[in-house]
Amino acid sequence: MAVSDVVTQRGDRVVATEGVTLTEEDLLLLSELAKGVTVDRVGRRLDVSGRTVRRRLRGICDRIGVATAIEAVAWAARRRLI
């Protein structure tokens, strides 16, 4: 699927690109990190713990094949997802 391809799944907007699927919440998490917001503050904004944010971020990194949060943010930004 191309970057612009969007499908709906369980009410959440899902973006699929290069065989990777990211939810709207995944993209929100990455966009907040790109702005320099701390993991704990992102957690408060998403109404989850900082630990949950770190766990979700690790899942995102695993899905897109990068090692760090910075690489995940750069990956999404290069594809104009955030």
Tens of pLDDT, residue by residue over 27-77, are: 999 999 999 999 999 999 999 999 999 999 999 999 999 999 999 999 999
Q: What would the two tokens of residue 60 be?
A: 């995102």
Q: Which amino acid is at 44?
A: R
- The pTM assigned to this predicted structure is 0.80
Q: Is the four-CA dihedral 25, 49, 37, 65 of positive or negative sign? A: negative
Higher pLDDT residue, 55 or 19?
55
Q: Domain spans of the chain?
A: 6-78
Q: How far apart are alpha carbons 74 and 45 in whole angstroms?
A: 22
Fold entry, domain 6-78 = Arc Repressor Mutant, subunit A (1.10.10)
